[in-house]
Structure 1
Amino acid sequence: MSLSMEQRLGISAVTNAKIELRPNYREDELQQIFKAAYEHVFGRERVYVSGIFSSAEAMLRNGKISVRQFVQTLVKSEFYKERFFYNNSQIRFIELNYKHLLGRAPYDQSEIAYHVDLYASQGYDADIDSYIDSQEYNNAFGDNTVPYYRGFKSIPGMKQIGFNRLFTLYRGNGNSDNAGTKSPRLRQQLAMNLPNMIIPPSSAIRFASVLSVGQLNTSPVRGDQRLYVIEIIAGGVGTKVAVRRSRQVYTVPFDQLSKRYQEIHKQGGKIISITPV
């Protein structure tokens, strides 16, 4: 018996994974929505979810929020931030947002730059909303369908290179997006507008060996000399005593933005403004 293309590439389990919450749903159908959302957004990390989102589940069950809003709640949660935001580079975080929210990989460097600038100017929630409130999300999933890996099939407006790129981000349902290197998987190919090699998740080639091919190597984005001025109110981590917080200003190069964001958040600081020089 010959294997289908999806089976040979190791993606048959996710190519037809569209799950929609229809009117007059049963409880078991609602449970499938919860399971699919946790699996797609958190991957292997879903095993730690139990009970965390019971309030959001109740709101969806009672018709107070849509599936889209349920997904939005997951991605704006501290649980999601701890898994994918605080410990990853900014570009890696953007890769994961495209994967988790739009079911595809970013196509080119302009999509990365857009979200870096949006986060810098408007913050975390606005950046997440830009995916979920986008026309692309609306056309693909609407209000009642859980996001899924649609980038493995031909979709309207999709660039062919996106098919290759998604294989680099998707390593199978058993893989954790929170494991391994925190560096971007696509930065070199995006910056140089190069295609990615297709290495199926089910391949006998170990994930670590892909590094030797050069697929996951990263390098600074060439020619990007942008600088940003970050104004913050310094935090007082580890103390309950009221203290006068000082205002501080930093000039940060583009490739250090992510690291500085994370340092500020971890130290309890508050970003007042980020302005390009």
Structure 2
Amino acid sequence: MTLVNAAYLGLDRYASNQNNENWAAGSDQEKTALINAVYRQVLGYQYLMANERLTGAESLFRNGYLSVREFVRTVAKSGLYREKFFNNTNPYHFIELNFKHLLGRAPEGKAEMLHHFSLLQEHGVEAEIDSYIDSEEYQNRFGEEQVPFLHGWDYSAGQVGRQFSWLLQLTRGVAASVKGDLTGNSSRLGKALHQDRALPVVSPNAKGAGYQPTGAANESITQSARGIGEKSRVYRVEATGLTNYRLHKRSSIVRFVTFDKLLEAQQAIHRQGGRVASVSPVN
């Protein structure tokens, strides 16, 4: 489907990205095109260096051992994805990008954002990624062999008009993701999503146009929905694969952190090359 006024809205590069589908009899050249399409969509059009490519997963896909859906999952759960979008990133912005990269749309509202925030806090990054790829919505729209694509401006069934303006906020900028994003690592939707209100839609070529900050506190959604008391709840975080430089080997650790420090603890574990094995409440 061709997007009307795509050039005016600054969406040219997304206008013909909806027909990338895998076929059993596809040529090696077609497989390469699909692999590159997955990287573009899941990594938010960021430049990918040769040494960053997931060559093992690419080989499995080329030989028919991975479907497009499972290749998408592998890229989204890779250390590369965590490094680009999770480590040192505001959790709300990470969730916004997951919606864009994996479901091709913006969040529906604060309830959906809160659900994923809680999932990320209590079950970790991999559970958060799986929640999109294993969803009925993903299966119905993309199935096993369709590369995900941005569709939030098509006004699909059940979509509300404000999502159009929210998706534009997530697709503007040099890389339409963390690097090159005028908002840095902060949430792009913030207060607008919290208040269920649309944002102005203008051409990026218009005077004074481009990204328009929402001026929202990062904690607005959580504070209003979960209450102050939740912050004091303690969680047991078990991590594996951490590098112990003193002993020159990989080790496991257990940390006890409060709810409001969970994301910070998970980010620190990933930066040290580890993996969160489990997160469970203590009190």
Smaller-chain TM-score bracket: 0.7 to 0.9
* Residue-by-residue CA offset, 1:192-240 (whole Å, 9 max, x unaligned): 22212224455554646x34xxx35434325242333122358775433
Number of residue pairs the alignment of both structures matches: 269
Q: 1:2-57, CA deviations, whole angstroms, 9 ceiling, x for partnerless residues? A: x9522221223313311111231122211211121111111343332556211111
Name whichever of 266-275 and 175-184 sits farther off. Answer: 266-275
Alignment check: 8 A CA contact 1:120 1:274 kept:
no
Query: CA 1:179/1:191 → structure 2, altered by over 3 Å: closer, same or farther?
Result: same
Answering whether residue 80 of structure 2 is matched by residue 74 of structure 1, we say no
Distance 1:150 1:42 in 2: 17
Q: Report the counterpart of residue 25 of structure 2 in structure 1.
A: 24
> Contact 2:121/2:263 (CA < 8 Å) preserved in 1?
no
Partner Cα distance (1:29, 1:131) in 2: 26
TM-fit CA distance, 1:125: 1.6
Q: Distance in 1 between matches of 2:51 and 2:208?
A: 33
Distance of 2:253 and 2:6 partners within structure 1? 56
Partners of 1:243 and 1:28 in 2: CA distance? 40
3-state SS in 2 of match to 1:273: strand
Match of 1:184 among 183, 187, 190: 187
Q: Residues 165 and 195 of structure 1 are in contact (CA less than 8 Å); yes or no, is this contact kept in structure 2?
A: yes
Gap runs ≥5 in structure 1: none
TM-score, reference length from structure 1:
0.83
Contact 2:237/2:279 (CA < 8 Å) preserved in 1? yes
8 A Cα contact 2:52 2:80, kept in partner? no
| Residue matched to 1:240 | 247
Confirm whether residue 273 of structure 1 aligns to residue 276 of structure 2.
no
1:66 is displaced (CA, Å) by 0.3
| Mean CA deviation greater in 97-106 or 232-241 | 232-241
After superposition, what is the alpha-carbon deviation per residue over 1:94-128, rounded to whole angstroms, capped at 9, x for unaligned? 00100000000111111111112222333222221
Contact 1:233/1:270 (CA < 8 Å) preserved in 2?
Answer: yes
Q: 1:82 deviation in Å?
A: 0.5
1:115 corresponds to: 116
Q: Is the 8 A contact 2:44 2:177 kept in 1?
A: yes
One-letter amino acid of the structure 1 residue matched with residue 195 of structure 2: M
2:152 aligns with: 151
Is the contact made by 2:244 and 2:250 (CA closer than 8 Å) also made in structure 1?
Answer: no
Does structure 2 retain, via aligned residues, the 8 Å contact 1:91–1:184? yes
- Counterparts of 1:174 and 1:86, CA distance in 2: 17
- Contact 1:230–1:274, Cα closer than 8 Å, also in 2: yes
| 72-81 or 150-159: bigger deviation | 150-159
**More displaced stretch, 134-143 vs 258-267:** 258-267
Is 1:43–1:173's contact at 8 Å kept on the other side of the alignment? no
- With normalisation by structure 2, the TM-score equals 0.82
Cα contact 2:235–2:279 (8 A) shared by 1 = yes
Question: How far, CA to CA, are the matches of 1:166 and 1:195 in structure 2?
Answer: 10
Residue equivalent to 1:11: 11
State percent identity of aligned pairs.
Answer: 30
| 1:198–1:25 Cα change, 3 Å | same
Match of 2:199 in 1: 196
| Structure 1 residue 47 corresponds to structure 2 residue 48 | yes
Distance 1:87 1:202, change over 3 A: farther
CA contact (8 A) 1:15 1:153 kept: no
Asked whether the equivalents of residues 89 and 182 of structure 1 are also in contact (C-alpha less than 8 Å), the reply is: yes
Q: Which residue in the other structure is 2:268 paired with?
A: 263
Instruction: Classify the secondary structure of the residue corresponding to 1:230.
Output: strand
RMSD: 3.0
**AA at the equivalent of 1:93:** F
The question of 1:218 aligning with 2:217 is answered yes
Query: Separation in 2 of the partners of 1:72 and 1:123?
Result: 15
Confirm or deny: 8 A CA contact 2:10 2:203 kept in the other structure. Answer: yes
Give, in angstroms, the shift of residue 172 of structure 1: 5.6
**CA–CA distance in structure 2, aligned partners of residues 269 and 71 of structure 1:** 20
